[in-house]
Structure 1
Amino acid sequence: MIIALLNQKGGVGKTTLALHIAGELASRGNRVTLVDADPQGSSLDWSQQRAREGLPRLFGTIGLARDTLHREAPELARDADHIVIDGPPRVAGLMRSALLAADLVLIPVQPSPLDGWASAEMLALLTEARIYRPQLTARFALNRCGARTVIARETAETLADHDPPMLATAIGQRVVFADAAQAGRLVREIDRQSLAAREIAALTAEIVGLGIGRAVP
Structure 2
Amino acid sequence: MIIGILNQKGGVGKTTLSINLAAAFAIAGQRVLVVDADPQGSSLTWSSARAAETAPLFPVIGMAKPTLHRDLPEIAKDYDITIIDGAPRVSELGRAAILASDLILIPVQPSPFDVWATEDIVGLIKEARQFKEGLKAVFAVNRKIVNTAIGRDVLDAFTDESFPVLKSQVCQRVVYAESAAQGLTVIEVAPAGEAAREVKALAKELLRYDNQERKAA
TM-score under structure 1 length normalisation? 0.93
8 Å Cα contact 2:90/2:121 also seen in 1: no
Q: CA deviation at 1:185?
A: 0.6
Counting matched residue pairs gives: 213
In structure 2, the gaps of 5 or more residues are none
Provide the rounded CA distance (Å) in 2 between the counterparts of 1:6 and 1:29.
Answer: 25
Tell me if structure 2 keeps the 8 A contact 1:13–1:143.
yes
The CA deviation string for residues 38-88 of structure 1, in whole angstroms up to 9 with x for no partner, is 0000100111111x3521111011000001110112111221111000001
Structure 1 gaps of 5+ residues are none
Matches within 5 A, 1:38-57: 38-50=38-50, 52-57=51-56
| Equivalent residue, structure 1, for 2:145 | 146
Residues 159 and 166 in structure 1, CA contact (< 8 A), matched pair in contact too: yes
8 Å Cα contact 2:31/2:81 also seen in 1 = yes
**Does 1:116 find its partner at 2:103?**
no
Q: Quick one: structure 1 residues 118 and 211, their matched pair in 2 at CA, closer, same or farther if it must change by over 3 Å?
A: closer
Give the structure 1 partner of residue 22 of structure 2.
22
Distance 1:125 1:65 in 2: 18
Task: Give the % identical residues.
Answer: 49
- Give the Å deviation of 1:156: 2.3
Task: Tell me the SS of whatever aligns to 2:129.
Answer: helix
Give the Cα separation in 1 of the matches to 2:69 and 2:5.
Answer: 14
State the partner residue of 2:103: 104
Distance in 1, Cα, partners of 2:149 & 2:26? 35
> Could you tell me which amino acid in structure 2 is paired with residue 112 of structure 1?
S
Q: Is the 8 A contact 1:147 1:153 kept in 2?
A: no
Which residue does 2:89 correspond to in 1?
Answer: 90
Query: Equivalent residue for 2:6?
Result: 6
Q: What is the CA-CA distance between 1:158 and the residue it aligns to?
A: 2.5
- CA deviations 1:152-202 (Å, max 9, x no partner) are 212223224564111110000101101011111111111111110000000
Q: Are 1:53 and 1:184, in contact at CA under 8 Å, matched by a contact in 2?
A: no
Whole-Å separation in 2 of the counterparts to 1:91 and 1:69: 15
Question: Structure 1: how far apart are the matches of 2:55 and 2:199?
Answer: 20
CA apart distance, 1:30: 1.1
CA contact (8 A) 1:69 1:101 kept: yes
Confirm whether residue 70 of structure 1 aligns to residue 74 of structure 2. Answer: no
Contact residue 7 and residue 88 of structure 2 kept, 8 A: yes
SS class of match (1:94): helix
Distance change in 2, residues 1:91/1:117 (3 Å): closer
- Aligned-residue CA RMSD in angstroms? 1.6
Instruction: Tell which deviates more after alignment, 158-167 or 130-139.
Output: 158-167
Q: Which moved more, 1:160-169 or 1:26-35?
A: 160-169
Asked if structure 2 preserves the Cα contact closer than 8 Å seen for 1:109 and 1:140, the reply is: yes
